[in-house]
Structure 1
Amino acid sequence: MNVTIVDYNSGNISSVINSFNEVAKNKVKLKVTSDLNKIKSSDKVVLPGQGSFKSCVDALNNIKGLVDTLNEFVINHKKPLLGICVGLQMFADIGYEETETKGLGWISGQVSKIDNQNGKYKLPHIGWNQINILKDSKIFKNIENNPHMYFVHSYEFIPEDKSVISSTTDYSSNIVCSIEKENVFGTQFHPEKSDKTGLKIIDNFINL
């Protein structure tokens, strides 16, 4: 099985690569690339994202044909894709970080700044927080509820269809932490920085 981590120059993804290498060893072939043919021939794709919504969308668009290839992978071929942090946020129709920016439009919704209730909550939301698993998601297989996961973000994904939400965390309000819709998976937290539970989530994705 081939798993590809999309490297589209969106910040440092070494911890994503290292954790997937740790979990994937002897199981799957792991590639880190933006080569369209290699992405097309993959069984699964990981879309990381660091920095702002706009900078990540711009970086995707800067590689000719990449967005079309990802659309084909997800929508036409219905192969599994895991978005991490801004990688998840880009599933939305639109994001409001820096400026209004069009997302990939895979899951209807928007990415807005977390309401910090006039400074009551610090932004970015950074560090460990408990998540509440809301549905029997394939990536949470054999994980007990309320694990602590690692977050770094100031913006949240608000999907129109609440049935896609697989977990939330309580920070100023119920913030969406992960989604699952058919073959599309995403986590707002960083599984690659979330100790053994995070590695288990990565393992679950690889074993889908």
Structure 2
Amino acid sequence: MGPRKENHRYLEQHQQLSVPDPRFPIARKEGAVPKDQAPVPRGADRHTQQVLSMLSALQQNFSSLLQVVTNRLSYDKTKEAAFNRLYQEMEELKQDQELNQLRPLYIDLILLIDRMNNIYNDKLEAGNQNPELVSILQTLSHEVLEILYRRGVELIVAPGSKFDPKIQQVVEVIPTNNPAEDNQVVHMVRHGFRYKDVVLRPEEVVIKKYQP
């Protein structure tokens, strides 16, 4: 047999040895794992646990911070309400002290207006109405009213013709047999004055009273 035939036989044998028979699968080594089922490295598992632990800690810190903010907002609202009440009470106390100190002065000025009105009415009833005297009395009365007004003292103006016990005082009663005229104001005797919401002197009036 020549060299050519020997080479050919060798190639055929080599090709037969290198091609496995599909009827007999190649045995795998013990403990071998397929590539698509490779286990997760231990380092990656530890890293995942660290990330989860960090996220849990952040969540707890955020919850604590949220509670602190909520408590602070509630505290600020309570503090603001307390300060508002305190300021209101201090303002009311200040007004009360101011009124207590200045009430005698206000009453004296109100009485001065009454005296000027009485002089004017007396002169008018006597028929001795002096135009110059009337002008002086009106000017003085307006000036005193302006002084009181600048200090918060105003004339009481009744909203209707019915008697209002909150701002009026009855000094005379006229009987009437008409029920519709009961408690109707007939005449104003003296002006009333108030300092803001405090009545310094009620308006003195004459009213009708129903008597069947």
TM-score normalised by length of structure 1? 0.22
> Of the two, which has the highest radius of gyration?
2
Structure number with the higher strand fraction is 1
